[in-house]
Each structure stands twice: as C-alpha cells, then as structure tokens.
Amino acid sequence: MAGLLLGASFPALALPAAGDFDIHVDWVSDYTTNPVTEACAYSGTVAAGLVCPVVRVRFNRDWYQGYVWVTSMTIHEVADHVPDVAGGTGGMDVNQRREACGDPDPEEAPGMVYFNDSWEECIAGHNRSHTITVETEYLDIVTEEVYPGPTRNITVDPQNLTVTETTPAGATPILWDPGTMTSVPVTVKATLQKREEYTARLQVYDHTQTCVRTLTQSETIGPGQATVTFQWDGKDGEGQTLLKGVYYFRSAFALPDFEEYDKSIFLTVESVSEEYDRVDPQTGDFVYNVTYSLSGIGETECTECNIAVYDPDLLLRKSVSVPTSLGEPHEVEVPLQMDKGGRWVFVVQATDNGTTLDKGHIDRPALQKAANRITTTWDVGEEISVTVTTPVANQGIGINGRLQCSATATDMDHWSRFPFASGNGADVIASYTWSCPAYDFWLNGEPIAEVREAYDI
C-alpha cells in the first residue's frame, strides 16, 4: 500500500473505539507495487485509481450493542460542482470484512462489523475533494430499543494523472524555422500517485487548428512526477518539412478509457479572422480588425484572452488583452507597425475559468487558433513588384490582395485587386508588377502593396 496511505488518520490495523466507527475508501488496486496489490486509503489520504472505489464503514460494537445499521451515506463534492450522491444503506455484519484492508480476525475483535458500498458515481478522472458522511443506528440488547449511533465524516482527495507543466509553457506556440532548426523539443510534466503505463501523444497544429503531425510513445508515469520529452522534426505526416511559422501543440496521456490533456477540453477558440481597416495618419500604424469567438462548457467567460501577433521573423510584436465572454463574436482593433515583408500571424490565446473543473485543471489554455496573413511594403517608386511564395511546396496557390496608391493621407480608396493565380513551382509561384502614378506625396512616404490571402488550390 506504499504511495497511497499518505496522511492516514487510522493505521491499517487500528480499530475504532468501542461504540464508534471509522470510514475509509478502498481503491481496488495499488499500481505502485509489483505485483499489483489491493489498497485502502483512509481519511485524509491522497488516493489514486481510475476504478471507482468502495466506501467502507467499520463499526466496533460495545458490549450492549447488537445489530448495527448504516442509515445514511452522503458523498459531497466540496466545491459543489456536482450534486451530492446518496450512498447505500443497510445492515452491517462480519461477512463484509476485508483482510487486505487491515480488518482483524473475528476471533480477535468479535465486536467488529462492516459495511461496503460501491461509489459508482466517482468521477475518477478528476481530482476533486469529497466529504463522505455516514449516520448509524444500533439495537440496544438490554432495552431492545433502536437508538441513533455516531455520525462521522472523512475527506478523500483522488489524485489521478494531471499535466502540471509544458515547455513551451501554457499558450506559448512552437516557433519553427527550418532554416535554423532541425527539431523542436516539447516537454510535458505529469504527476500521478500510482504507477501505470500510458500512451503519450503530441499533436502539432497549424493556424487553422488542423493537425499536421502526431507523435506517440509509451511512457510509465508515477508514482510522483514524470517528465516526457517529444522531438518534433518540423515535418508533417507525409514527411514534408513545413514552412517557417507559428505552430501549436496539444499533448495527451491516454488509457483505453481515459485521456488527460495539457490544453483545456472545456474551452474552444471557434473562429479567427482579420481585416485591414486603415493606416493611422498620426502613428503610421496599420490598423486591423480582428474578429474571434469562444465557446465553452458550463462557462460564461474565460479567465483571460489575448491576441498575440508574430512577425515574419517569429518575433512576438504585440500582445493585446481582449474580451473574454463566450458566444457572440468579438471584434477588436489591433494597430501594428508592420515594417517587415512576409507572413504575420494573429493568434487568439484563451484560458478556461475553472468554474466546472477540479483543482488540477483550472486555468488551462485552449488550443490556439489564428488568422494567417502575408503583408509586405515597398520603397517609393512608380512600379511595385510582389513575389508570393506558396505555403506548401509544389502546390499551386490562389492570391487575393490589394494595391494602394494614395496621393494624400486621406485618400485611402485607390485599390486594385491582385489577380487569381495558380502554378506548380517548387517554392516561388509567381511575381506580379503594378504601376502607381508618380505622386508627389505618398502615404507615409511610400505606396503600399498588400497580399490579403494566400491559399492552396
């Protein structure tokens, strides 16, 4: 029973006082031993197990007490996330004795009787504290009357596998550059109060939350904390090296009937889009309207939400706190000094608020989602050339963009559409050239060409 009897208030062989009883919770197996053995977790104990436990009542009858009954059993989740559970009731007897849980031989303790009740509603995949309250009655063999017996309660803290830390941390994405990197380590720390073998899984996602790669490996977790490291080589499931950019990940530890994630399963970033709005004539900032929506289970809002903006060199250029409510789309303005040509990424990062969660799963980040765009500016000149690179090598792309030739700071409407294009180049698909009138005054000193969207066809 090593690793499970932490802080027990009753040693395994100790008996309740005469006329009193104790309560403990018996998890079916102790996976920290080899071979696996039965385990009992007493009051205040940290206990583990995916199998729902048995609530055990042990009553030590005094000389005048005959029959004893459990008249009420209530299992209460301390944080009130779930309704109370009414446990079983009934007569106690020696036939429910369990030697593996330290119950004494009947000849040595003739007053001992027992009652076992299966805790079928146990949410074993979570770590919520529960109190278990038991009321009893007994028959007085002298008066032959039934009297109320003692009432007792205990607190039990299930401790199942919990992801405690990842690197990159929290909502921080993977920043992948095939020009300077050969692989990216992703480290996940998990804790468990038993020992069990899990399938550890790492999934890598692009900005649309499309899984581009899944890595799996077997890991033995517990007792205590374990560290698992994945090495992602920057390739997709077909073995193709992915382009430089911002990618997201979700790790999981799986059994046949249970999975534990580092990302929230209660909060989702539903959609993200951006639209260029204007150039601020005072600051020269490009102002974009970013629209996003969030959804969750049993929540009205998340703990926090922000929009992180990464430039073409994968540098974090801005992080803006934004509204956290769920349901209706939000639209916020994000001003940027866009001084680099290439791909800029607007990432929505949110964390759940934990109102329906246990203490081991509060404030977990949702899987991120982004609006992907390519924006480029050029020096003053009568002609502007634009080169577009395909997001995936050897595939054609479609292009949707605009060219701005502004004569004054308030003249924002001179836009022409980029043509649709397709091709089969290995990397560079096409170059386009537009001509602007040779104005004496350019907005912010230069004309602006902007690729609004590049997508595979």
What pLDDT, in 10s, does the model give residues 126-160?
Answer: 677 889 999 999 999 999 999 999 999 998 877 77
Task: Give the Å distances, CA to CA, from 385 to 341, 444, 447.
Answer: 12, 19, 12
Q: 79: number of CA atoms within 13 Å, CB side?
A: 14
Residue pair 167/187 in contact by the 8 Å Cβ criterion: yes
Task: Give the Å distances, CA to CA, from 43 to 90, 169, 347, 374, 436.
Answer: 22, 35, 46, 60, 80
How far is the C-alpha of 285 from the C-alpha of 282, rounded, in Å?
8
Residue 404: both structure tokens together = 């701005």
**Among candidates 51, 46, 31, which has minimal Cα distance to 122?**
51
Residue 360 pLDDT? 61
Cis peptide before 168 (omega within 30 of 0): yes
Instruction: Give me the domains of the chain, ranges plus CATH numbers.
Output: 20-158 (2.60.40), 162-261 (2.60.40.4070), 264-370 (2.70.50.60), 378-457 (no CATH)
Query: What is the DSSP track for 78-117?
Result: TT-SS--EE---EE-BGGG--GGGTPPPTTT-TTEEEEEE
Cis peptide before 148 (omega within 30 of 0): no
End-to-end distance of the chain based on CA atoms, in angstroms? 60
Residue 202: both structure tokens together = 């790492």
Tens place of pLDDT per residue across the chain (457 aa): 222 333 233 444 588 999 999 998 876 565 556 666 666 654 444 445 455 678 889 999 999 999 999 999 999 988 776 788 898 999 999 999 988 777 899 999 999 999 999 887 765 456 778 899 999 999 999 999 999 999 999 988 777 788 889 999 988 999 999 999 999 999 999 887 667 788 999 999 998 899 999 999 998 887 778 899 999 999 999 999 998 889 999 999 987 767 888 998 889 999 999 887 887 878 878 888 999 999 987 667 888 999 999 988 899 999 999 999 998 999 999 998 877 766 789 999 999 886 666 656 677 899 999 986 544 443 333 344 444 443 434 343 344 444 444 333 333 333 333 333 333 333 333 444 444 443 333 333 344 444 444 443 3
Residue pair 40/12 in contact by the 8 Å Cβ criterion: yes
How far is the C-alpha of 6 from the C-alpha of 16, rounded, in Å?
19
Note the pTM of the prediction, 2 decimals. 0.65
Question: Helix, strand, coil shares of the chain as percentages rounded to 5?
Answer: 0, 50, 45
Beta bridge partners of residue 91, listed in sequence order: 69
Query: What is the DSSP track for 299-335?
Result: -SB-SEEEEEEE-TTS-EEEEEE---BSSS-EEEEEE
Contacts of 4 (CB under 8 A, 6+ apart): 27, 30, 32, 39, 40, 41, 45, 46, 47, 48, 193, 194
| Coil/strand/helix, residue 252 | strand
Give the sheet arrangement for strand 330-336, strand by strand.
267-279, 286-296, 330-336
How far is the C-alpha of 248 from the C-alpha of 186, rounded, in Å?
11
**Among candidates 42, 10, 12, which has minimal Cα distance to 26?**
42
Residue pair 81/128 in contact by the 8 Å Cβ criterion: yes
